[in-house]
């Protein structure tokens, strides 16, 4: 059953005089859309139909994120299983004609990331836009590109994809995206298509085109706030509006401000769990600051005055050891560059006092899960990629808006207030909380975001897994935020 948007899009894009598959020749499309309206499923459904009934038909799905590739492959796998079950129920024998390579438990389907049918010699290949040499097709009949506004290698990828298309005029290319501001390739291509100056036909479907539940939209509005109009736009102009540069709401920061650190609220700080975030630096006079922040996991109250200074890897590792002796818990170190050196130095140390006495420091370090990979492939520390930075900021924003943290350090609050989207596309605090104009200090703000990642990790492991290395520490419930 089509929903209203799917039916409208299908009638607009796939209407042609003859239903003869052999003569289908459709225009290329670029699609700006609101979230969760079903058009990705519709596109994959039509690709699956072609996969089943068009001999030798090769299609390619290109996404920005690895996890999106896995998700899209699983959708096609579900479509296949549903089709087979329906054919069986109807007593239609041809269901047996599809020797299909489904998505395996870890989300992969062979080393080439493809779904294939040996009977029809058709296949659908899945890849990310940044992958090199992914897939095996000399010629492709159809391309579906999603998350287009986030692609980082647009010119190179589109050149390669265009060169792989069949040359008989029957190739189909569809690009879809949610707006990510102006000036990127998706914005330029969409506007050119609207003006009739592109090979693509522009389509827009926003929140007013779909029968969203009112309560759902209100929940999303509260959760996304200034990002709501980008994720669920009413018009395409609204979708591309340049967002306010501030990443975090000043009123949220004010609402979670406190004046007493957790260590001064309890008699024995070592009886509680903590999460520590470490933004490391090289430790030279002309370099950046190293910052370490911590919070009590249950209440979210900032645990101690943040450590901030020109600390090198060795000094940072010893500060972490000292903190764990009084504030036991998990430590999240930003991994790239200087973080690698800090992690190595931590591997040589052992906690010598408190509940963790005798515990190697390495057992207290956050390990980042790699989707689809066994635990042995996970890496110590928090990565610094584009996706991870977005996740880190979004999760911290959620904690702020839900009032699940108490921030005591004024310097940290000042950095968070000025943490902005910069003209070059990066995020950061252009001015430090200590008033040094013209400097770019966001170390304490980053350490607090890392701290929240560790808090979430420790809570998940305490609640659902028995292999957290610090599980021997007695869990005591700290007083709630409201109690203070």
- Residues 252-283: tens digit of each pLDDT: 899 999 999 999 999 999 999 899 999 999 88
Q: Is the pLDDT of residue 75 over 80?
A: yes
Distance of alpha carbon 299 from alpha carbon 290, whole angstroms? 25
Q: Which of 100, 107, 45, 40 is nearest to 73 (CA)?
A: 107
pLDDT at 328: 92
pLDDT at 143: 94
pLDDT at 26: 56
Distance of alpha carbon 81 from alpha carbon 85, whole angstroms? 6
CB atoms closer than 10 angstroms to residue 339: 23
pLDDT at 226: 67
CB 469, CB 355: distance < 8 Å: no
Taken in order of first residue, the domains within the chain and their CATH numbers are 4-207 (3.40.50.300), 250-467 (3.30.420.240)
**Higher pLDDT, residue 127 or 467:** 127
| Helix ranges (DSSP H) in 121-235 | 154-164, 185-194, 214-224, 228-231
Find the Cα–Cα–Cα–Cα dihedral 173, 177, 182, 185, rounded to 10°: -30
Distance of alpha carbon 343 from alpha carbon 122, whole angstroms? 48
φ, ψ of residue 295 in degrees (nearest 5): -140, 155
Report residue 98's pLDDT band, with 50, 70 and 90 as the boundaries: low
From residue 184, how far is each of 63, 187, 316, 387, 449 by CA, in Å?
16, 5, 39, 17, 27
Report residue 103's pLDDT band, with 50, 70 and 90 as the boundaries: very low
Q: Which of 266, 468, 473 is nearest to 351 (CA)?
A: 473
pLDDT at 423: 53
Report residue 437's pLDDT band, with 50, 70 and 90 as the boundaries: very low
> What's the predicted TM-score (pTM) here?
0.52
Q: Which of 311, 237, 244, 232 is nearest to 278 (CA)?
A: 311
CB 289, CB 310: distance < 8 Å: yes
Max mean pLDDT among 136-140, 195-199, 223-227 falls in 195-199
The length of the chain in residues reads 484
From residue 240, how far is each of 187, 228, 369 by CA, in Å?
8, 12, 33
Distance of alpha carbon 387 from alpha carbon 61, whole angstroms? 20
Q: Which of 275, 303, 276, 280 is nearest to 291 (CA)?
A: 280
Report residue 14's pLDDT band, with 50, 70 and 90 as the boundaries: low
How is residue 347 written in tokens? 């591997």
Distance of alpha carbon 139 from alpha carbon 111, whole angstroms? 19
Q: Is the dihedral of CA 476, 479, 480, 484 positive or negative?
A: negative
pLDDT at 466: 40
Average pLDDT over residues 170-186: 83
Q: Is 337 left (phi over 0), alpha (psi -120 to 50) or beta?
A: left
Element (H, E) at 123: strand 122-128
Average pLDDT over residues 289-296: 95
Report residue 406's pLDDT band, with 50, 70 and 90 as the boundaries: very high
**Higher pLDDT, residue 219 or 370:** 219
pLDDT at 446: 93
Distance of alpha carbon 231 from alpha carbon 70, whole angstroms? 22
**Higher pLDDT, residue 90 or 186:** 186
Residue 329 bridge partners (DSSP): 274
Q: Is 283 left (phi over 0), alpha (psi -120 to 50) or beta?
A: left
pLDDT at 377: 79
**Higher pLDDT, residue 232 or 467:** 232
Query: Mean pLDDT in the chain?
Result: 79
Average pLDDT over residues 332-357: 91
How far apart are the two ends of the chain, measured CA to CA in Å? 53
């Amino acid at each position: 059953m089509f929903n209203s948007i799917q039916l409208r899009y299908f009638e607009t894009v796939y209407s042609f005089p003859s239903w003869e598959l052999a003569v289908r020749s459709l225009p290329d499309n670029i699609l700006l859309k609101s979230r969760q309206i079903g058009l990705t499923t519709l596109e994959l459904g039509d690709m699956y139909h072609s996969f089943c009934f068009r001999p030798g038909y090769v299609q390619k799905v290109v996404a920005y994120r690895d996890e999106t590739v896995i998700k899209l492959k699983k959708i096609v796998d579900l479509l296949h299983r549903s089709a087979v079950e329906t054919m069986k129920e109807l007593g239609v024998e041809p269901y047996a004609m599809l020797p299909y390579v489904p998505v395996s438990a870890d989300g992969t389907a062979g080393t080439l990331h493809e779904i294939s049918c040996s009977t029809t010699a058709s296949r659908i290949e899945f890849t990310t836009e940044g992958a090199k040499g992914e897939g095996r097709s000399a010629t492709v009949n159809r391309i579906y590109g999603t998350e287009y506004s986030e692609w980082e290698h647009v010119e190179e990828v589109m050149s390669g994809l265009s060169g792989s298309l069949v040359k008989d005029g029957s190739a189909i290319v569809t690009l879809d995206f949610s707006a990510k501001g102006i000036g990127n390739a998706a914005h330029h291509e969409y506007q050119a298509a609207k003006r009739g100056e592109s090979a693509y036909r522009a389509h827009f479907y926003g929140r007013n085109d779909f029968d969203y539940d009112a309560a759902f939209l209100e929940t999303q509005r509260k959760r996304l706030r200034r990002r709501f109009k980008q994720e669920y736009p009413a018009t395409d102009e609204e979708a591309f509006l340049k967002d306010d540069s501030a990443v975090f709401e000043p009123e949220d920061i004010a609402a979670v401000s406190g004046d007493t650190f957790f260590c001064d609220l309890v008699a024995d700080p070592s009886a509680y769990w903590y999460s520590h975030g470490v933004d490391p630096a090289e430790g030279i006079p002309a370099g950046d600051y190293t910052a370490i922040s911590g919070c009590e996991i249950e209440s979210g109250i900032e645990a101690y005055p943040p450590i901030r200074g020109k600390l090198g890897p060795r000094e940072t590792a010893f500060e972490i050891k000292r903190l764990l002796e009084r504030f036991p818990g998990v430590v999240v170190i930003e991994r790239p560059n200087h973080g690698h050196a800090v992690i190595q130095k931590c591997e040589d140390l052992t906690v010598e006092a408190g509940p963790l006495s005798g515990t190697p420091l390495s057992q207290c370090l956050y390990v980042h899960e790699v989707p689809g990979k066994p635990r042995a492939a996970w890496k110590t520390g928090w990565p610094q990629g584009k996706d991870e930075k977005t996740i880190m900021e979004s999760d911290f924003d959620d904690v702020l808006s839900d009032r699940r943290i108490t921030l005591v350090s004024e310097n940290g609050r000042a950095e968070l207030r000025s943490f902005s989207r910069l003209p070059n596309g990066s995020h950061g605090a252009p001015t430090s909380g200590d008033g040094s104009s013209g400097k770019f200090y966001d170390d304490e703000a980053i350490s607090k975001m890392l701290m929240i990642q560790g808090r979430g990790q420790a809570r998940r492991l305490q609640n659902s897994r028995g292999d957290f290395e610090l599980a021997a520490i007695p869990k005591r419930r700290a007083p709630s935020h409201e109690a203070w």
